[in-house]
């Protein structure tokens, strides 16, 4: 018999607001993430709107996708925006040197991306090319997208079908400058950032938030150097990337399915590292920016497994199981704790690539367990965090690895309800959680749970609804809740 875990939510002490963009997405020109997965072109027999497939759009709308980052990733630092405007049949064909060496038709360019964002009702995050482009090319792209003048570039945008300026909400100056973005030192990149940023001129009303490309994993030198060298009036945020690799070894990362319990726990344990990595980056930035103006945007995160056997290694195609849903929920709970600085994150990636929401094949598609985790957490978008204290939390252990059994997060949603998310990392046993809400009477509680019989349970074209959330009963008595969280499960309850 295991003693219950006690969770106390202090409803009277609201904290930071969880920016809805913490639930942002990333769509790169990579594999079938954009072409086939989302973009089929207006002439396709697959039903589409302006070339974007309707089934995928419909599913993504349920996630209230707040923001999309495009066109990369590594792809961004080789992308020349003028290749992607004007008549599609006249656009140049390039080679996608980063991802599989395949032909890039440039069918999806600036106008098509903004169509997608508008169809989803999402904000836009354009990642500019610092690695192989010039300051002139970057500043002209911003002018083309945002200028309301009669300049030649603004007129060219109008000629290409868009009268009004586009709204660029965020602009990233380069990507992974320590690697595919140019193999630079942080000092060198900081100088280049300032150089490029100097020419990114827009009227104040059209000014995007500017993002400097930061470090990854446990390297905080980028956060330290960039926050020291670049003043907040030139930089709104520093980005940070962290991928969860089950084995921790890039050459043999581990499989998306068919893994043993050792890789279940190592994956969850490695994903939980992001908490200390975020804290270390924040501490580094705090030294130079104690007033917390500069955001820390985790603009790439998620699981990265060995590709599915027989698929192009450059396409980063992987299945997605219940384990991925728990990874997503654990990350959300951590991001909420850092809501004051972590005002945006982008899971990698939206469709068919890495930890995707949706997997497609020709005109079919299915939703992944990760999709369902995102959908269950929609009420946390723009919600206000509430402090959560946990006592009596057990440990789930295997061999030398040990992680907390329960992860919890609470917030007051925009609808006034208190939302509580609970993750049980233990694949063997349910956990009873007693929830006290200090400063609130409990009138009613509703909830949903996402779990499955097997750790690596998946959805597939044959069984698209094998893993999906179902209604969940939590007991409310005398102002307290009792929540029995099944083994290996994500639960979200709404308390009124
Ligand atoms: O998401 C896939 C790749 O991972 C991105 O292009 C790059 O930024 C990172 O290394």
What is the phi/psi pair of residue 220, to 5°?
Answer: -100, 5
Task: For residue 188, give every residue at least 6 positions away whose Cβ sits within 8 Å of its Cβ, in sequence order, or none.
Answer: none
Q: DSSP string spanning 41-79?
A: -TT-SS-EETTEEHHHHHHHHHTT--EEEES-SGGGGG-
Cα(140)–Cα(157) distance, rounded to whole angstroms? 12
Give the chain's length: 496
Q: Is 73 in the pocket of ligand 1 (CB under 6 A)?
A: yes
pLDDT at position 477 is: 78
Task: In whole angstroms, give the CA distance from residue 310 to residue 330.
Answer: 31
Cβ contact 411:384 at 8 Å: yes
Q: How far apart are CA 20 and CA 135, in angstroms?
A: 31
> What are the start and end residues of each CATH 3.20.20.80 domain in the chain?
20-381
**Phi, psi (5° rounding) for residue 151?**
-60, 160
With the CA atoms of 172, 178, 180 and 181 taken in that order, what torsion angle do they form, in degrees rounded to the nearest 10? 40
Ligand 1 lined by 74 (C-beta under 6 Å): yes
The pLDDT value given to residue 95: 98
DSSP 242-281: EEE-SSS-GGG---SSS--HHHHHHHHHHHHHHHHHHHHH
Output the CA 412–ligand 1 centroid distance in Å.
34
Tell me, what's the pLDDT at 378? 98
The H or E element containing residue 169 is none
Q: Which residue among 27, 33, 70, 72 has the greatest number of ligand 1 atoms within 8 angstroms of its CB, and so is best to mutate?
A: 72
Distance 43 CA to ligand 1 centre (A): 31
At residue 159, the 3 state secondary structure works out as helix
**How remote is the CA of residue 14 from the centroid of ligand 1, in Å?**
35
The answer to whether the complex's ipTM is over 0.95 is: yes
Residue 150 CA, ligand 1 centroid: distance in Å? 37
Terminal Cα distance for the chain, rounded? 31
List the pLDDT tens digit at each of the 496 positions of the chain: 567 899 999 999 999 999 999 999 999 999 999 999 999 999 999 999 999 999 999 999 999 999 999 999 999 999 999 999 999 999 999 999 999 999 999 999 999 999 999 999 999 999 999 999 999 999 999 999 999 999 999 999 999 999 999 999 999 999 999 999 999 999 999 999 999 999 999 999 999 999 999 999 999 999 999 999 999 999 999 999 999 999 999 999 999 999 999 999 999 999 999 999 999 999 999 999 999 999 999 999 999 999 999 999 999 999 999 999 999 999 999 999 999 999 999 999 999 999 999 999 999 999 999 999 999 999 999 999 999 999 999 999 999 999 999 999 999 999 999 999 999 999 999 999 999 998 888 888 999 999 999 999 999 999 999 999 999 999 887 778 999 999 999 999 999 9
Ligand 1 atom having least distance to the Cα of 354: 1
For residues 392 and 95, what is the distance between their CA atoms, to the nearest angstrom?
Answer: 55
Domain 5-11+386-495 indexed as CATH 2.60.40.1180: yes
> Catalytic residue numbers?
176, 300
Q: What's the 28 CA to ligand 1 centre distance in angstroms?
A: 9
Ligand 1 pocket, residue 77 CB under 6 Å: no
176 lines ligand 1 (CB under 6 A): yes
| pLDDT score, position 1 | 52
Q: What kind and span of H or E run contains 463? A: none
For 20-381, CATH number?
3.20.20.80
In this prediction, residue 175 carries a pLDDT of 98
Q: Are 444 and 476 in contact (CB under 8 A)?
A: yes
Report which ligand 1 atom has the smallest distance to the Cα of 76. Answer: 6
Nearest CA to ligand 1 atom 2: 73
Residue nearest to atom 4 of ligand 1 (CA): 73
In the chain, CATH 2.60.40.1180 covers: 5-11+386-495
The residue whose CB lies within 8 Å of the most ligand 1 atoms, and thus the one to mutate among 30, 217, 348, 349, is: 348
Q: Which two tokens stand for residue 340?
A: 């004051």
Whether residue 71 has a cis bond before it, omega within 30° of 0: yes
Pairing outcome for strands 48-49 and 470-472: unpaired
Q: What is the pLDDT of residue 438?
A: 85
Predicted local confidence at residue 2, as pLDDT:
66
127 lines ligand 1 (CB under 6 A): no
Distance, CA 19 to ligand 1 centroid (Å)?
23
**Protein residue whose Cα sits closest to atom 7 of ligand 1:** 73
């Amino acid at each position: 018999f295991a003693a219950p875990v006690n969770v106390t939510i202090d409803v009277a002490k609201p904290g930071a607001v969880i920016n809805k963009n913490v639930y942002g997405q990333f769509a790169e020109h990579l594999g079938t993430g954009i072409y086939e997965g989302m973009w089929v072109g207006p002439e396709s027999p697959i039903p589409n709107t302006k070339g974007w497939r309707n089934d995928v759009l419909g599913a993504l709308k349920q996630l209230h996708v707040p923001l999309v980052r495009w066109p990369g990733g590594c792809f961004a630092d080789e992308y020349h925006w003028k290749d992607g405007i004007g008549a599609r049949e006249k656009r140049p064909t390039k080679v996608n040197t980063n991802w599989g060496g395949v032909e890039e038709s440039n069918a999806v360019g600036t106008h098509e991306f903004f169509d997608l964002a508008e169809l989803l009702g999402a904000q836009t995050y354009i990642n500019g090319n610092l690695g192989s482009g010039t300051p002139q090319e970057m500043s002209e792209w911003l002018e083309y997208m945002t200028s309301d003048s009669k300049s030649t570039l603004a007129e060219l945008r109008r000629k290409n079908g868009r009268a009004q300026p586009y709204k660029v909400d965020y602009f990233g100056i380069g990507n992974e400058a320590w690697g595919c973005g140019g193999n630079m030192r942080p000092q060198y990149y900081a100088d280049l950032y300032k150089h490029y940023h100097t020419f990114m001129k827009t009227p104040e009303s059209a000014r995007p938030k500017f993002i400097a490309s930061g470090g990854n994993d446990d390297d905080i030198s980028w956060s330290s150097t960039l926050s020291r060298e670049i003043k907040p009036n030139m930089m709104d945020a520093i980005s940070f990337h962290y991928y969860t690799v089950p084995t921790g070894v890039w050459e043999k990362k581990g499989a998306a399915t068919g893994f043993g319990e050792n890789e279940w726990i190592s994956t969850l344990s490695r994903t939980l590292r992001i908490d200390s990595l975020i804290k270390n980056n924040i501490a580094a930035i705090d030294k130079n920016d104690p007033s917390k103006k500069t955001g820390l945007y985790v603009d790439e995160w998620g699981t990265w497994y060995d590709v599915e056997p027989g698929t192009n290694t450059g396409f980063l195609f992987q299945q997605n199981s219940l384990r991925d849903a728990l990874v997503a929920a654990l990350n959300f709970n951590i991001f909420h704790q850092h809501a004051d600085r972590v005002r945006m994150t982008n899971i990698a990636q939206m469709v068919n690539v890495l930890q995707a929401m949706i997997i497609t094949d020709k005109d079919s598609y299915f939703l992944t367990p990760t999709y369902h985790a995102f959908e269950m957490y929609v009420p946390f978008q723009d919600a206000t965090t509430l402090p959560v204290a946990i006592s009596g939390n057990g440990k789930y252990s295997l061999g030398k690895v040990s992680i907390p059994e329960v992860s919890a997060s609470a917030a007051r949603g925009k609808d006034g309800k208190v939302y509580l998310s609970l993750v049980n990392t233990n694949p063997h046993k349910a956990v009873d959680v007693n929830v006290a809400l200090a400063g609130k009477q409990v009138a009613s509680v509703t909830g949903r749970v996402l779990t499955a019989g097997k750790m690596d349970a998946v959805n597939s074209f044959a069984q698209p609804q094998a893993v999906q959330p179902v209604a969940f009963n939590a007991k409310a008595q005398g102002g307290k809740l009792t929540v029995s969280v099944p083994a290996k499960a994500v639960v979200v309850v709404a308390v009124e």
